[in-house]
């Protein structure tokens, strides 16, 4: 492309423009918005004038306006009001009138006209529960109220009965039947009796009805009641259970706290479980505990709680509560071979000779130790789920048959050869 070409274009355009007849130059730019142009807007005909410049804020003008808009009652109007209201009400009216200065109303008083205004103008005769506070019609409760003494109670009853007696009847010199007849007519005895029993006034110095539907709280240091709401501490516990943890268990099992504390309880399985709610997962801890006294009693307890410590405590207490006797041969092993199945877990337990020891997995070992078994072999040929293994082991131990019972069923005599051979000196 030739260098001369742009120059030629430029020159030709310039020349073409010069050849055209001159158009009138546009005075304003093309409008870029739809509002009226500045030149087209109307200006106010008057400048804004302040109230002071007109003289509306002088004290005289204000008073004049106030007297015109908020006039005081005329003597005639007051006469009409006096006919309508009592003296006290009139005094209140006048006091209210005197309390409000018309000048304040003139300067500050505004009536709202916006759509969000409060639907009333200081109408105190009505209570709007959303806007107004609940009226407290009664006195606040007396903090020094106390229970009636016996004499006061009797006096209260006397006062109630005397209030029932009609005042406009002269009972003097009336025969007994007449008196009873009048009383029956005038007094609804069943209703009064019900009132006395259902709405008893037990406090002396109480201020009558309360502002709250809730009964007033008793004082903290109420004579005769002070200190009675502590959990009772049983002296038989020897100070071992001041928290009252074992009291329920003690009542259920009949064991003393010392015996309960001597029982060996152990947590064998802990699981963190989740409850999926629409608000998220709620994590809880599930605990399986066993308890054994080391002398043929075994219990299993399972508990779940959001708090791990609570679950542990509950599981241990339940385990103690659920303790059952377990049959033991010579107090060292079991009778025969037993087997139990929970889920996919099978636990096989076999009796073993003295001195064999405990050959079992760690959870089963703890169970055998706590129940007081010393010679045993346990096998779990299939699943080894912790929970199921413990449960199956306990089931297996409980499924032992009594040899005497079996022999009786078959009508045969049962003899323990070991005892016969060793002359009863087996342990």
Partner 1 sequence: MGIANVVNMCSHLQNASRAHLGMTSFPHTKYNLSLAITLHRRGWLSFVTRGGTKPPDPATISTFEPEPLTTANVSRQRLWVGLKYNAAAGGKPVLGAITPITTPKRPITVKLKDLERLARGLDSHPHRGLNLGESIILTTSLGTLDIREAIERKVGGLLLCRVGP
CA–CA dist 50, 360 (Å, integer): 103
Q: Which is nearer to partner 1, 234 or 416 (CB)?
A: 416
Contact 398, 326 (CB under 8 A): yes
Consecutive H or E run containing 17: helix 4-19
Nearer Cβ to partner 1 (167/412): 412
At closest approach, how far in Å is the CB of 359 from partner 1?
A: 17
Closest separation in Å from C-beta 406 to partner 1: 4
> If we measure between CA atoms, which residue out of 241, 411, 417 comes closest to residue 317?
241
Nearer to partner 1, 253 or 333 (CB): 333
**DSSP letter for each residue of 69-105:** HSPPPPHHHHHHHHHHS-HHHHHHHHHHHHHS-HHHH
Options 195, 337, 415, 427; binder of partner 1; rule CB under 8 A? 337
Determine, following the binding rule CB under 8 A, whether residue 409 of this chain makes contact with partner 1: yes
340, 357, 360: which is closest to 348 by C-alpha? 340
DSSP string, 225-274: TTTTTSPPPPGGGTTS-TT-SSHHHHHHH---HHHHHHSEEEEEEEEEEE
Maximum Cα–Cα distance for the chain, whole Å?
148
**Three state DSSP letters for 106-150:** HHHCCCCCCCCCCCCCCCCCCCCCCCCCCCCCCCCCCCCCEECCH
Least separation in angstroms between CB 414 and partner 1: 10
| Residue with Cβ nearer partner 1 (341 or 384) | 341
CB of 255 to partner 1, least distance (A): 27
Residue ranges of alpha helices (H) inside 322-425 are: 362-371, 386-398, 403-410, 417-421
263 and 246 Cβ atoms separated by less than 8 Å: no
Closest CA to 316 of 373, 370, 279, 389: 370
Q: What's the rounded Cα separation, in Å, for the pair 95 and 74? A: 16
Among 21, 87, 239, 411, binds partner 1 (CB under 8 A): 411
**Position 212 contacts partner 1 (CB under 8 A):** no
Side-chain-facing half-sphere of 93: CA atoms under 13 Å: 14
Q: With CB under 8 A as the contact rule, which of the stretches 69-77, 135-143, 247-255, 400-408 interacts with partner 1?
A: 400-408
Altogether, the residues listed in the chain come to a count of 427
Report the nearest approach of partner 1 to the CB of residue 418 (Å).
12
CA 17, 19, 20, 26 torsion: positive or negative?
A: positive
Among 161, 402, 419, 427, binds partner 1 (CB under 8 A): 402
- Does 401 bind partner 1 (CB under 8 A)? Our answer is yes
**Can you tell me which of 127, 306, 408, 415 binds partner 1, judged by CB under 8 A?**
408
**From the list 80, 157, 222, 406, which residue makes contact with partner 1 (rule: CB under 8 A)?**
406
- Supply 420's token pair: 């016969």
Q: Which of 122, 168, 177, 405 binds partner 1 (CB under 8 A)?
A: 405
Contacting range for partner 1; rule: CB under 8 A; set: 4-12, 161-169, 253-261, 398-406: 398-406
- Least spacing, CB of residue 401 vs partner 1, in Å: 6
Beta-carbon contacts of 307 under 8 Å, excluding residues fewer than 6 positions away, are 285
127 or 408, CB closer to partner 1? 408
Comparing C-alpha atoms, which of 43, 44, 61 is closest to residue 52? 61
Is 112 in contact with 118 (CB distance < 8 Å)? yes
Among 335, 359, 369, 383, binds partner 1 (CB under 8 A): 335
Nearer to partner 1, 131 or 410 (CB): 410
In the bound complex, what is the minimum distance in angstroms from residue 362's beta carbon to partner 1? 26
Nearer to partner 1, 153 or 416 (CB): 416
Binding of partner 1 at residue 403 (CB under 8 A)? Answer: yes
- Whichever of 174 and 406 has its CB closer to partner 1, that residue is 406
DSSP 214: S
Of 143, 166, 205, 336, which lies in the binding site for partner 1, with binding defined by CB under 8 A? Answer: 336
**Identity of the residue, 271 or 401, whose beta carbon is nearer to partner 1 in the bound complex:** 401
CB contact at 8 A, 313 and 291: no
Stretch that binds partner 1, among 24-32, 169-177, 377-385, 401-409 (CB under 8 A): 401-409
Closer residue to partner 1 (CB): 40 or 411: 411
Q: Name the minimum Å distance from CB 356 to partner 1.
A: 14
Identify which of residues 263 and 397 has a Cβ nearer to partner 1 in the complex. 397
Q: Which residues bind partner 1 (CB under 8 A)?
A: 335-337, 401-403, 405-406, 408-412
């Amino acid at each position: 492309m030739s260098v001369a070409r742009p120059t030629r274009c430029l020159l030709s355009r310039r020349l073409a423009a010069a050849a055209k007849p001159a158009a009138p130059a546009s005075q304003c730019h093309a409008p870029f918005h739809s509002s009226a142009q500045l030149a087209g807007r109307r200006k106010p005909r008057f400048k804004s004038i302040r109230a002071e410049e007109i003289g509306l804020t002088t004290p005289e003008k204000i008073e004049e306006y106030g007297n015109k808009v908020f006039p005081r009652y005329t003597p005639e109007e007051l006469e009409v009001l006096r006919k309508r209201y009592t003296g006290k009400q009139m005094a209140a009216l006048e006091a209210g009138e005197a309390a409000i200065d018309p000048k304040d109303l003139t300067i500050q008083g505004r009536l709202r006209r916006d759509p969000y205004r409060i639907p009333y103008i200081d109408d105190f005769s009505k209570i709007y529960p959303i806007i107004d506070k609940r009226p407290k019609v009664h006195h606040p409760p007396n903090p020094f109220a106390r229970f009636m003494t016996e004499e006061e109670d009797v006096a209260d009853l006397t006062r109630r009965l005397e209030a029932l007696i009609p005042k406009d009847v002269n009972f003097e010199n009336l025969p007994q039947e007449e008196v009873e007849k009048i009383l029956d007519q005038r007094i609804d005895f069943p209703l009064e009796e019900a009132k006395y029993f259902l709405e008893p006034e037990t406090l002396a110095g109480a201020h009558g009805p309360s502002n709250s539907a809730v009964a007033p709280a008793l004082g903290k240091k109420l004579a005769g009641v002070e200190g009675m709401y502590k959990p009772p501490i049983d002296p038989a516990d020897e100070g071992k259970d001041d928290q009252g943890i074992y009291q329920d268990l003690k009542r259920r099992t009949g064991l003393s706290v010392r015996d309960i504390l001597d029982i060996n309880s152990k947590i064998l399985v802990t699981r963190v479980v989740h409850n999926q709610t629409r608000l998220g997962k709620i994590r809880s801890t599930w605990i399986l505990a066993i308890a054994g006294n080391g002398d043929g009693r075994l219990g299993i307890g399972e508990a779940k709680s959001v708090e791990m410590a609570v679950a542990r405590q509950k599981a241990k207490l339940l385990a103690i509560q659920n303790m059952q006797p377990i049959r033991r041969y010579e107090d060292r092993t079991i009778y025969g071979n037993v087997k139990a199945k929970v889920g996919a877990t099978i636990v096989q337990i076999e009796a073993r000779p003295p001195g064999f020891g405990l050959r079992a997995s760690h959870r089963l070992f703890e169970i055998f130790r706590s129940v007081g078994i010393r010679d045993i072999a346990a096998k779990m040929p299939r699943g080894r789920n912790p929970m199921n293994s413990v449960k199956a082991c306990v089931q297996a131990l409980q499924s032992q048959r009594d040899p005497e019972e079996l022999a009786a069923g078959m009508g045969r005599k049962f003899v323990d050869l070991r005892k016969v051979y060793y002359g009863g000196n087996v342990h």
